[in-house]
């Protein structure tokens, strides 16, 4: 697998993505903690979470179009430079009356970041030979996982030692280093799409809306996809509902600081990593429907148990354990989607799922902002866990009892 690192362009792309993700994961822990520390308000953290989801809802598909039309190397360089400059504005947030800067900067940084994933994903195939692409993609997954493990722990330690400003400088430096690495790439420029220079923004949005409707139409025609669509979006609603209350839970229930937040995030990522390593053996013996349904129910049950803990050690153990059913159910759901969707429509189906998932995220965070302060942290987190468990039950009720992984023909799977 590691032989792909011999390719210079791939090494630059991998390390560029890693350092950028590392800084982002560090700030992802530090900034919500800072906002809650300044306001003691779950409404404030809910509004911050909202700035994470809006760019995906509004610009996710459009960013993919731009990645096909512009020079992808230049996109990566320009966006990372812009992100480094924008992030530095967070140094103003601790000043009296300037907390709003945290929201504006987060929205702007995530909007810029929407361009990175499709550009990097589209660029990867030209950095390695075709035969090495599976290994190259696998190592990109390792890059993301390691960043999830190290970044939160780093962010918690740095903000505890030097305050928000130290994490901001760290994140800005990571973007600047990533931009430098991407600038050293030597790859052919992608060919522009026919007529792209003349296509208007309105025409692009119309085309995206048409493709999104085609994806939704495909989902509604196939029982497996429709069941997954409902299950995954209800699960997403429950999971997203956690975001505005997580910092408050750690501070008030666990009596922990930023180090505890970082340690919890890192522990969860470690559990997910171990789960990913054992998933291949499990999926070969257990029906995918059962993995999706029972796995999601178990995630919800662990969530409810977790949010009633007052011991950090117990919370760490439960967060680690939760990584197993979480990864198992996610991988099984992805496999079912791939099995049940014709190849020519997979992009549209994933696009429809992604857009709807972002919309669900906005709804969940909006609900948290409206009622979270009155309902209380533990009540809202318990509700999030209960909704997740219900999503698993929905999956068990709606998903067909046979799937392609069992060696039988699933509804909607094209067979030779």
3-state helix, strand, coil in the chain (%, to 5): 85, 0, 15
In a domain, 291, yes or no: yes
pLDDT in tens, 182-200: 999 887 665 444 444 445 5
Between CA 371 and CA 252 the distance in angstroms is 18
Closest CA relative to residue 31, chosen from 107, 145, 131: 107
Q: Which of 318, 317, 298 is nearest to 306 (CA)?
A: 318
Reported pTM: 0.73
Contacts of 166 (CB under 8 A, 6+ apart): 158, 159
In a domain, 200, yes or no: no
| One domain for residues 181 and 235 | no
The answer on 136 and 275 residing in a single domain is no
pLDDT digits (tens, 9 = 90+) for 257-310: 888 888 998 888 888 777 766 665 555 577 888 889 999 999 999 999 999 999
Three-class HEC string of 159-175: HHHHCHHHHHHHHHHHH
Does pLDDT of 380 surpass 90? yes
Rounded CA separation 260/33 (Å): 11
Which of 108, 132, 107, 131 minimizes the C-alpha distance to 13?
132
Whether residues 277 and 168 share a domain: the answer is no
Distance CA 360, CA 369 (A): 14
Q: Is the distance from CB of 86 to CB of 98 less than 8 angstroms?
A: no
pLDDT tens digits along 30-40:
898 889 888 88
Return the structure tokens found at 166.
């130290």
Find out whether 329 and 295 touch, Cβ atoms under 8 Å: yes
How many angstroms separate the CA atoms of 295 and 259, rounded?
29
Inside any domain, residue 178: yes
Residue 402 has what DSSP assignment?
Answer: -
Total number of domains in the chain:
2
pLDDT in tens, 200-240: 556 666 766 676 677 677 778 888 888 988 999 999 999 88
265 and 394 assigned to the same domain? yes
* CATH number for the domain that contains residue 153: 1.20.1250.20
Q: Is residue 139 part of a domain?
A: yes
State the helix-helix crossing angle for 8-39 and 258-283, rounded to 10 degrees: 130
Q: Which two tokens stand for residue 202?
A: 């309105």
Residue length, the chain? Answer: 416
Please indicate, yes or no, whether residues 141 and 262 belong to a single structural domain of this protein. no
Classify residue 199: in a domain, yes or no. Answer: no
Q: Which domain holds residue 269?
A: 214-406
């Amino acid at each position: 697998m590691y032989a792909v690192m011999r390719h210079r362009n791939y090494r630059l792309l991998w390390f560029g993505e890693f350092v950028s993700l590392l800084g982002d994961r560090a700030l992802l822990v530090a900034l919500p903690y800072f906002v809650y520390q300044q306001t003691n308000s779950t409404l404030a953290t809910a509004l911050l979470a909202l700035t994470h989801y809006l760019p995906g809802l509004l610009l996710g598909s459009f960013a993919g179009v731009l990645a096909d039309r512009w020079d992808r190397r230049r996109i990566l360089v320009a966006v990372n430079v812009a992100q480094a400059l924008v992030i530095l504005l967070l140094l103003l947030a601790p000043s009296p009356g300037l907390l709003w800067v945290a929201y504006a900067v987060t929205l702007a940084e995530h909007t810029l970041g929407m361009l990175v994933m499709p550009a990097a994903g589209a660029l990867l195939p030209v950095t390695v030979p075709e035969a090495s692409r599976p290994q190259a993609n696998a190592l990109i997954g390792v890059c993301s996982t390691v960043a999830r493990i190290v970044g939160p722990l780093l962010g918690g330690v740095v903000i505890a030692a030097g305050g928000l400003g130290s994490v901001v400088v760290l994140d800005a430096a990571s973007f600047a280093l990533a931009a430098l690495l991407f600038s050293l790439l030597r790859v052919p420029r992608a060919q522009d799409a026919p007529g792209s220079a003349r296509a208007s923004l309105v025409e692009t949005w119309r085309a995206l809306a048409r493709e999104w409707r085609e994806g939704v139409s495909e989902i509604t025609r196939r029982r497996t996809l429709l069941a997954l669509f409902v299950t995954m979006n209800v699960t997403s609603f429950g999971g997203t509902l956690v975001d505005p209350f997580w910092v408050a839970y750690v501070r008030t229930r666990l009596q922990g600081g930023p180090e505890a937040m970082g340690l919890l995030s890192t522990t969860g990522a470690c559990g997910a990593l171990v789960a990913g390593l054992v998933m291949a053996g499990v999926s070969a013996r257990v029906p995918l429907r059962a993995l999706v349904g029972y796995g999601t129910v178990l995630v919800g049950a662990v969530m409810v148990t977790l949010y009633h803990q007052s011991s950090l050690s117990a919370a760490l153990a439960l967060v680690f354990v939760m990584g197993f059913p979480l990864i198992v159910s996610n991988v099984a759901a992805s496999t079912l989607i791939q099995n049940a969707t014709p190849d020519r429509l997979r992009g549209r189906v994933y696009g429809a799922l992604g857009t709807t998932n972002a919309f669900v995220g906005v709804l969940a965070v909006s609900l948290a902002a409206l009622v979270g302060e009155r309902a209380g942290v533990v009540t809202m987190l318990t509700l999030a866990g209960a909704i997740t468990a219900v999503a698993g039950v929905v999956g068990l009720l709606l998903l067909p009892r046979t799937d392609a992984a069992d060696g039988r023909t699933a509804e909607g799977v094209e067979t030779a």
